[in-house]
Structure 1
Amino acid sequence: MSVPPAGSATAQPNVPEDEHRLPLDVKPLHYDLTILTDLEKLTFEGSVAIDLEILKDTSSIVFHSSTLNIKDVSITTDSLKKPQAPTSQSFDTASERAYLKFPTVFSAGSKAQLKVNFDAQLTGSMMGYYYSTWEKDGKKQYYTLTQFEPTAARRAFPCWDEPLLKATYGITLISREGTVNLSNMPAISEEPYTSSSLPSGGKWKITKFDRTPPMSSYLVAFANGEFEHIESHYVSPLSGKTRPLRVYATADYIHQTEFALEIKRKVLPLYEQMFDVEYPLPKLDTLIASDFDAGAMENWGLITGRTTAFCLDTKKSGVNAQKNVATTQSHEVAHMWFGDITTMAWWDNLYLNEGDQHIIGFLKPPLTTVFIGFATLMGEVIIMDKVFPEWKVYSEFINHHLARALDLDAKLSSHPIEVDCPDANQINQIFDALSYSKAGSVLRMLSAFVNEETFLKGVSIYLKKHLFANSVSKDLWEGIGEAAGKDIVGMMDNWVSKMGFPLLTVTEKGGSIHVRQDRFLETGPAADKDNQTIWQIPLNIASTGADGKLKVDRILLTEKEVTIPLDTTNPFKLNYDTTGVYRVLYTPERLDKIGAEAAKKNSVFNMNDRLGLINDVFALSNAGFGNVSAALNLIQNLRQEEEFLVWQGIRDNIGDLTSIFWENTTAWELLKKFRSSLYTPLVDQLGYDFPDSDSADKKQLRTLAIAGAAASDEPKVIEELTKRFADYLKTGNDSAIASDIERATYTTVVKHGGRAEYDAVKAIFEKPKTPTMRTAAIAGLCSPKDQTLIDETLKFMMTEAKDQDVYMFIANLASNVLYNRFSGNTQLPYLISYAFKYLSTEADAKDIEEFFEGKDVSKFNLALNQTLDTIRAHAALIERSTDDVVQWLQTWSKAAKL
């Protein structure tokens, strides 16, 4: 049949309006898929033979298909003597389904094979089977790759595109000679190919790949192009087998892939040892693409991702770039087990033992993002700490993930880790800080509660029980509970099924503390209707005895409130090591004592405690549970702090506060002075150069200080960065601009310069030496004060920037053009949140509501509601705390004689 073009639809035959899953009549067992790719015409065509098991008597077959021209449909069964064509066929663009009606009733328990031919245009949409571009000898070239998560396999071939419906795949790729074909499995043959139906011109080849294990459709991957590769291997510590590891890229990036390959080689044996489960595929490739929607994707056996996620010039790139590549590669490798081998189920009846779900799908019961959270914790923390202990990743997690999770989960428009998601429009929106960061934080809390060794033993038990199969989150909790000898199922239920997190209010009386839990909201005390959840909370109370030594009482709070005996004459603090997913509110007097203790050189409270304290005090004062001046006092007391990560927490919170008060000139200028007073002494101490002998901590603190002082308009820092940039323009030698300070340098010279600096940074953007240099240049192009240059950047963003980069450019969203351009991928929610990030009045919120009134917001309504919540929380903070903030800063300024 011929599929109607996008935007048209034919009637659905007897499908209920609330039906979001395919019928249960049949399920796929195996796909033999052949794809012919023509990189000259930018088209592809294919054929697929799908082995089906008939589960119910039926004469109809329904499967997913989108943007494909489908033809030559037929079915065969054991009882049919020859292939049978459908008597009717229709397609619905809204549900992306094809409906076939056959003259024969297929009996339950029988087998069938559906054959379909199809073709389609290749596009640059970064979803489905799409093309990416690069430049060779001054000419634009094309290559192809796939991005099927969450629901885009249907754009590449007819399929049952739901995560529960695992099947095996035999993939064959036909392409022009001189190109490389890649897929999930190794190639088992490759030879010249001739056929009368081939496009004219040039020679062709055919590549056949080995059969995959059972896998979900969103993990299928294939690619074709002029790729080069570098290669290594690792030896399995469990079996002794040697597996090849490769990284593929185009010629312009292949020289920057050594670091990503080395990370993969190091982490694979560590995962095998921790899980006690061997990596099951014969190889693991990584393909780097110039055009890629998300950061990276865990296709089984063929990880894919953007250049900034995997490319690194080891001679030029700084610590942050190294961290990004290492954690991204490790995160995706973690998914090879947690998501690819074992995939979560969502059928609650017939398919309970066969259905699978990763982190997406039309869910009922709910979608769960535990797999993302696990890959975040495992890939970015537990494994990274073993490879790069100097990075202090357990502590960095608090700033990078826990703080983000609590910030988003403090909104009424939040969502649970397990969330109902019946509508395809909602799926891409779930890839947010709650999916990655809250899920990871809850797992980190559980790991600390049972101890990491027990946690990993429980994960191993879970994986072994569900190899190549399905599971629900309860299965994971049972595995960890079995290892720990505790009721983990009961403990974890509300953490994953309910939105929000607790605020613990601590009061003191007569040798004891009283602890009460309520839901924390950024707008202040929660109303009764929003305050019904009782969480099981590890309190982890740190205190000192008469000997002055630290002790930690690990108490699980299971009730609304509890009184705990404690000697309050000595220092104490809840949430020791900041492993708990909650905030703690003390009396002002106790907060002062904790802050004073935390600021001591040899405090009983460690760096993680200081990080958690900073984040808590700012969040609580911003929500009206205290004065913002108390948070500023804490920062003032921590001026002598030496740890980079504590300074990172200070920077993030002071930066957020400054952005809220940007429309109050008095507060804005005073906050700039305060920030400059924090950072400039560090710049004076650390300088502008980055010798290799410096520790990672020292390099990152120097970067933070220079960027912070420059953003605060510190004249001598502006002068130094401007001088270094001018020397680069004069000589062409950029060695004085270390990778770590490229962003600060470009933003500073454009902000305080003119046309010459703007054009120079734009030239860097167009021909960068590294992907991170290009990202830094984007920041520079968005920094001019000159309205003409701002307009030029906005025009460039709208007309010339790659789709994958637009979210980096966004400073304001003013046109539906962006909606039309990005509604098919994962970036739209980020465009909304970034566009309105710094608005902070009720009038702003009303303007946004009026702008979107009557428009289709289904693909970003969650992000829009979260953004409106944020704006209104900022407006309340401004109304409540402006006098407090200004008075404190004025008093400080006079004392500092500024």
Structure 2
Amino acid sequence: MHASKARIWASCAEVARTTRCRSQPSIRHAVSRRLSTQSSDGPLRAWAAHSGRSLVTRIYNPIPQHRLSFYPIRHYCSHLQDLIMATPTKTENPDQYRLSTDVKPLHYDVVIKTDLEALTFSGFVKTSFDVVRDTSTITLNSAQLNLGKVTVYSDALKSEQIPTGQDFDTVQERATFNLSTALPAGSKGEIKIAFSGELTGSMVGYYKSSWEDEGKTRNYALTQFEPTAARRAFPCWDEPLLKATFGITMVSRAETTNLSNMPAISEEVIEVNTNVSEEIRELASGSEGKWKVTKFENTPPMSTYIVAVANGEFKFLETSVKMPLSGKTIPLRIYTTPEVIHQAQFALDVKAAALPLYEKIFNVEYPLPKLDTLVAHDFDAGAMENWGLITGRTSVFLLDPERADQASKKRVATVQSHEVAHMWFGNITTMEWWNYLYLNEDKIFPEWRVDSEFISDHLNRALALDAKLSSHPVEVDCPDANHINQIFDALSYSKAASVLRMLSNYVGEERFLKGVSLYLKKKLFANSKTHDLWEGIGSATGLDIPDLMENWITKIGFPVLTVTEEANGIRVRQDRFLESGPAEPKDNETIWNIPLFILSAQAGGEYSVDKTAILQQRDQVYPIDTSKNYKLNANTVGVYRVLYTPERLVKIAEEAGKKDSIFGVNDRVGLVHDYLALSKAGLAKLSSALTVVDKLRNDTEFLVWDGIGENLGGLISIWWEHPEIVDQLNAFRRSLFTPIVDRLGYEFNESDSRDVKLLRKLAITQAAGAKESKVIDELKSRFAHLVQTGDDSKIPSDIMSVTFSIGVKYGGVEEYEAALRAHDKPKTPMQKIAAMTALGNTQDPELLKRTFDSISTKARDQDIMYYFAGLAGNFKSRRLLTSYFRDHYQELYKRFEANFSMQYLVKYSMDFLSTKEDLETTEAFFKDKDTSKYIQSLNQTLDTIRAKSAYIERSTEDLREWLKEWENRK
């Protein structure tokens, strides 16, 4: 959504989200052959038959070559990643967790009644299907539903039959209906199933959300089906490969609003003479009040996980855009509850800017007649790309137009544009199975340097996770639906996006974009595998992309490049990088094809980047002039870390610290992240990494300082139980950030650039965290004004979070109560988050107890992470948090077993532990627990504890000596 290469890379993170689990080549090719024998035009025919819409999508010439076309590469590399994440990987029986393909759904007619007073829903679904093979059973997905009458019609038999029996598999969430008369292959049929269920606060399936309206709790209902929860709303074939068309009809109380993927074609209150079917009339009977029926247009062929419905008393803002390819005018709306609708304008504006831009870049028409967004108060994920009806939580879509901070603007803009890109990646073209999760984010804000931010936001985040033995490939085995939630992590998104960003830099953005366009055009309304994307890029580049990229996607981990100097150049060796130390031979077998991007001096003295150099074996020599400075991974676009000799590192660091350095901001950010990670792995001394940081103290770039702040904060968090080292590190941190506070001050002016605002916020936050007394006093004073008057005008939005936390940390009951009032009646979503985090920052044992009690009594399910994060950031409450998790394990597990949250609670509760005793205690605690729904997060947490323990043992003395030497120098 921004105008540079950078933004294209946030999109690549999204494509990375659709292609994530995959098989080994032999399995993959076998699956591909099997799938290629199945007809793919059934859903297209069904859509035409049911809606009469033209199936022709106009495809235009290759992507324009002017600079604007480069915006989405990063944005849809984030979406291309969605593609690179989903087909079954190697299992003993790849199909044992997949539904039978004896029948294939074509079209669903879903009728669903929502009763917001009784908090129930009910209805029936009629699904037409092709019979692929003779069968006397029909198996589909169903979970947490009460199923009623079932009938099956066959056009070949010209008759209807009631199943003779039903079998339910609660583990695989399947219902099987046994038929007395088999359905013959080649025929068509229809199954009709009545169902009912409860609207709970589970945040999965069809569930309830609530808000406070003049002291009264009001409810509304919405869906969250990704990855496998459509089956909780109506019986269906709930796998992404099994696309069909959908006709949705909603029955609801007359005063409410009904929403779905498509526009409503009719809506009327059910009266005595209203022309509705007896089935619908019967659904509405037996309940007091007026009821209405809303019928929506049929959808294009789509997967069940992007079907959406919602019902409630919503308000909306609206606009429209004219699309560049079709010339159509597309209406856009954003819905939410009445009290916060005024905070939705920015997200609507972003959507209006992004939708036509994506159509132009992808050269594929947006296929739906509208695009809505629904903002929910209770939402498990951040947001969801339901086709035509994006949904998401308040904190990612709402902001105060008068006092929005930079972080809020970035979050809203990124999430909204990310979900819009999904309308193409993921929705038009969908992964065959969740192994390809990662294939599914300028011009609007040209001042946002998204490519540089990508390094910290995505690349470093992915490498930190992939450096663990418990990591997984981008395409990871997804044997069953219960495992799918666990693969929505930094590797599914950020590593996949990073790999695509690297590939685009290697082949050139113009050819990369052309290849992506070819891929999209070939897979319209179809399902895809990673190989399909590689094929498109290969066609555009003439390169063997599958061979080049195979190990980046199918193998675990990433390389560290060790650079040594020889007479005629440099020798580069690749080995797997692990945070715990050098890899053992059994963990170091992969050879990656690595673009080196070597920046070096040429004959005339000018510096340039060699993008042709590639390492395809264990080590190789490359001729360059080592008498002058050089650097691998120029612009930090490669998915690897680089280790230089200590002598060369000193030269690189000195050059990086110069005002007119040959190393750009991306290089300097990458250098900071690399050397702190290399020191953690024992490949470089921690003192060397701190020397690099010290030499960058005169840097003026926010992004460089952001990397420095993140890594110094990380060191303090690792040595948190060594107070003397913490104090010394904080002194070093104060020496870096306090001068910036002195220079920039505390006031945020409209005339300030975005980078200045971000650097000011960072410096204040870091200096306060490092216990700089004058900064703490200033923030306490501003918070005191809020405590005394209720007026928060002295707290700029950009430093609201740190001000609240400092106010509560250094305050008492009065300050705690002020944060609690902001929590209970926040002016914006960001203020509530600031309050929740601050409540965990108190140093008072009694107030900490109140915060822990609030987790059970006050915290909404979607917000529990903020409580845990606040408590995890407070050294006085860390071990209390671990104990709380263990003591309340059963309660937490039951509360969150159905959604994404449990895996994060494991991480927040124990990720900070750092001793061998902690490791043993943690392993013992989980020994008798069913960890299947969060095993990946648990293993990563255990690896983190091991690595921190080893880091402390290995580097404490080196750290002490460097800090002592620095203290003597300053």
Q: Which TM-score band applies after superposition, normalised by the shorter structure? A: over 0.9
Aligned residue number for residue 454 of structure 1: 511
Is the aligned partner of 1:175 residue 2:252?
A: yes
Deviation string 1:532-565 (CA, Å, 9 cap, x unpaired) is 1111111010012354421111212212111111
Q: Distance in 2 between matches of 1:773 and 1:875?
A: 36
Aligned residue number for residue 867 of structure 1: 941
Is the aligned partner of 1:44 residue 2:102?
A: no
Listed as ranges, the matches of 1:67-78 within 5 Å are 67-78=144-155
Deviation at 1:734, TM superposition (A): 1.4
471, 476, 482: which is aligned to 2:528?
A: 471
Aligned residue number for residue 600 of structure 1: 658
1:387 is paired with a residue whose SS is coil
Deviation string 1:580-610 (CA, Å, 9 cap, x unpaired) is 0000110000011011111111111100000
The answer to whether the 8 Å contact 1:184/1:221 transfers is: yes
469-478 or 152-161, which deviates more: 469-478
Listed as ranges, the matches of 1:502-581 within 5 Å are 502-545=559-602, 547-554=604-611, 555-581=613-639
Deviation at 1:733, TM superposition (A): 2.4
Deviation string 1:793-821 (CA, Å, 9 cap, x unpaired) is 01101222000011111132222111111
Is the aligned partner of 1:291 residue 2:348?
A: no
Aligned residue number for residue 352 of structure 1: none
Q: What amino acid does structure 1 have at the position aligned with 2:467?
A: A
1:337 is paired with a residue whose SS is coil
Q: What amino acid does structure 1 have at the position aligned with 2:859?
A: A
Listed as ranges, the matches of 1:163-242 within 5 Å are 163-194=240-271, 195-197=281-283, 198-242=285-329
Q: What amino acid does structure 2 have at the position aligned with 1:558?
A: Q
223, 243, 250: which is aligned to 2:330?
A: 243
Deviation at 1:422, TM superposition (A): 0.7
38-47 or 193-202, which deviates more: 193-202
803, 807, 810: which is aligned to 1:749?
A: 807
Deviation string 1:630-669 (CA, Å, 9 cap, x unpaired) is 1111111111111101001001111111111011121111
The answer to whether the 8 Å contact 1:689/1:736 transfers is: no
Is the aligned partner of 1:127 residue 2:127?
A: no
2:932 is paired with a residue whose SS is coil
Q: Distance in 2 between matches of 1:212 and 1:46?
A: 19
Q: Distance in 1 between matches of 2:506 and 2:602?
A: 23
431-440 or 194-203, which deviates more: 194-203
Aligned residue number for residue 342 of structure 2: 255
Q: What amino acid does structure 2 have at the position aligned with 1:733?
A: D
The answer to whether the 8 Å contact 2:385/2:419 transfers is: yes
Is the aligned partner of 1:878 residue 2:961?
A: no
853, 874, 877: which is aligned to 1:795?
A: 853
Listed as ranges, the matches of 1:403-418 within 5 Å are 403-418=460-475
Is the aligned partner of 1:836 residue 2:894?
A: no
2:107 is paired with a residue whose SS is strand
Aligned residue number for residue 734 of structure 2: 676
1:760 is paired with a residue whose SS is helix
Is the aligned partner of 1:397 residue 2:454?
A: yes
Listed as ranges, the matches of 1:112-151 within 5 Å are 112-151=189-228
Q: Distance in 1 between matches of 2:160 and 2:623?
A: 79
After superposition, the Cα gap between the structure-2 partners of 1:199 and 1:708, relative to the gap in structure 1 and judged at 3 Å, is farther
Deviation at 1:487, TM superposition (A): 1.4
The answer to whether the 8 Å contact 1:128/1:155 transfers is: yes
| Relative contact order, higher structure (CA 8 A, sep 6+) | 2
After superposition, the Cα gap between the structure-2 partners of 1:853 and 1:449, relative to the gap in structure 1 and judged at 3 Å, is same
The answer to whether the 8 Å contact 1:628/1:881 transfers is: yes
Percent of matched pairs sharing the same residue: 57
Q: What amino acid does structure 2 have at the position aligned with 1:215?
A: M
Aligned residue number for residue 331 of structure 1: 418
TM (norm. structure 2) is 0.87
4+ residue runs of structure 1 moved beyond 6 angstroms? Answer: 15-18
The answer to whether the 8 Å contact 1:369/1:439 transfers is: no
Aligned residue number for residue 23 of structure 1: 100
Aligned residue number for residue 62 of structure 1: 139
Aligned residue number for residue 627 of structure 1: 685
Is the aligned partner of 1:728 residue 2:753?
A: no
Listed as ranges, the matches of 1:733-812 within 5 Å are 733-810=791-868, 811=872, 812=881
Aligned residue number for residue 275 of structure 1: 362
1:368 is paired with a residue whose SS is coil
695-704 or 538-547, which deviates more: 538-547
89-98 or 590-599, which deviates more: 89-98
Q: Distance in 2 between matches of 1:720 and 1:533?
A: 53
904, 914, 919: which is aligned to 1:845?
A: 919
Q: Which runs of 5+ in 1 are unaligned?
A: 1-14, 346-356, 361-366, 373-378, 380-384
1:425 is paired with a residue whose SS is helix
Deviation at 1:444, TM superposition (A): 0.6
Aligned residue number for residue 310 of structure 1: 397
Aligned residue number for residue 11 of structure 1: none
Deviation at 1:369, TM superposition (A): 3.0
2:477 is paired with a residue whose SS is strand
Q: Distance in 2 between matches of 1:837 and 1:754?
A: 28
After superposition, the Cα gap between the structure-2 partners of 1:683 and 1:200, relative to the gap in structure 1 and judged at 3 Å, is same
Is the aligned partner of 1:695 residue 2:753?
A: yes
Deviation at 1:81, TM superposition (A): 4.4
Deviation string 1:420-462 (CA, Å, 9 cap, x unpaired) is 1113332111111101110110011111111222211111000
1:697 is paired with a residue whose SS is helix
386, 406, 409: which is aligned to 2:443?
A: 386
Q: Distance in 1 between matches of 2:431 and 2:484?
A: 16
Q: What amino acid does structure 1 have at the position aligned with 2:919?
A: A
Aligned residue number for residue 641 of structure 2: 583
After superposition, the Cα gap between the structure-2 partners of 1:66 and 1:589, relative to the gap in structure 1 and judged at 3 Å, is same
The answer to whether the 8 Å contact 1:447/1:455 transfers is: yes
Q: Distance in 2 between matches of 1:630 and 1:656?
A: 16
The answer to whether the 8 Å contact 1:666/1:886 transfers is: no
Q: What amino acid does structure 2 have at the position aligned with 1:852?
A: F
Aligned residue number for residue 661 of structure 1: 719
The answer to whether the 8 Å contact 1:230/1:248 transfers is: yes
Aligned residue number for residue 74 of structure 2: none
79-88 or 277-286, which deviates more: 79-88
The answer to whether the 8 Å contact 2:156/2:187 transfers is: no
Q: Distance in 1 between matches of 2:457 and 2:844?
A: 33
Q: What amino acid does structure 2 have at the position aligned with 1:368?
A: Y
Q: Distance in 2 between matches of 1:693 and 1:548?
A: 40
The answer to whether the 8 Å contact 2:156/2:188 transfers is: no
Deviation at 1:90, TM superposition (A): 2.1
Q: What amino acid does structure 2 have at the position aligned with 1:719?
A: D
Aligned residue number for residue 438 of structure 1: 495
The answer to whether the 8 Å contact 2:355/2:420 transfers is: yes
Aligned residue number for residue 375 of structure 1: none
Q: Distance in 1 between matches of 2:428 and 2:457?
A: 28
1:178 is paired with a residue whose SS is coil
Q: Distance in 2 between matches of 1:196 and 1:891?
A: 82
1:41 is paired with a residue whose SS is coil
1:573 is paired with a residue whose SS is coil
Q: Distance in 2 between matches of 1:16 and 1:710?
A: 56
The answer to whether the 8 Å contact 2:172/2:480 transfers is: no
* Superposition RMSD in Å: 1.3
Q: Distance in 2 between matches of 1:772 and 1:286?
A: 20
The answer to whether the 8 Å contact 2:102/2:131 transfers is: yes
